[in-house]
């Protein structure tokens, strides 16, 4: 498990799963930073993806957990920031590979697309897996470069 805070954030469609995952993190003795939302009242997922990105970029959090209905929109929002490597995962294999090969620092789930137990297991694997580095280092470095030029 990484040292430092784990940030969690969701929109309304991911709120229930976020709360379950947050409880698991707290029960594991980890420092958790909850960036919202705080209910199932409709909100805009980009706001929470951007909040996560700011927390990771500033060092407020060393890893992050994002949840929306599909996991797609909130991960797109977070990945607009060069400091974030958010991976939408669907199982423990994709969670492990996101860390091993891509040095993902944020994991994203879709509450409507993943079972609760699968998400819980995938989060544990995500947090327990170290980055492999080596042959992946140059590729991962390219992920943070400005590709608009």
Annotation marks residue 136 as catalytic: no
Annotation marks residue 147 as catalytic: no
Catalytic residue of the set 50, 81, 90, 101:
101
Bridge partners, residue 64, by sequence: 7, 106
Torsion of CA 140, 143, 70, 48, to 10 degrees: 110
CB–CB of 96/129 below 8 Å? Answer: yes
Catalytic residue of the set 12, 50, 68, 81:
68
Residue 30 Cα distances to 8, 72, 88, 113, angstroms: 12, 26, 22, 26
Active site (catalytic) residues: 68, 101
């Amino acid at each position: 498990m990484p040292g430092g805070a784990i940030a969690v954030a969701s929109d309304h469609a991911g709120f229930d799963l976020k709360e379950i995952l947050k409880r698991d993190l707290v029960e594991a003795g980890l420092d958790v930073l909850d960036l919202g939302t705080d209910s199932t009242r409709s909100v805009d997922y980009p706001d929470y993806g951007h909040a996560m990105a700011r927390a990771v970029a500033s060092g407020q959090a060393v890893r992050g957990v994002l949840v929306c209905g599909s996991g797609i929109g909130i991960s797109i929002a977070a990945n607009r920031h060069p400091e974030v490597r958010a991976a939408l995962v669907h199982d423990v294999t994709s969670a492990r590979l996101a860390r091993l090969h891509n040095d993902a620092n944020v994991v994203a789930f879709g509450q409507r697309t993943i079972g609760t137990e699968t998400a819980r297991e995938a989060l544990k694997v995500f947090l327990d897996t170290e980055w492999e580095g080596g042959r992946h280092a140059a590729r991962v470095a390219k992920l943070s470069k400005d590709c608009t030029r």
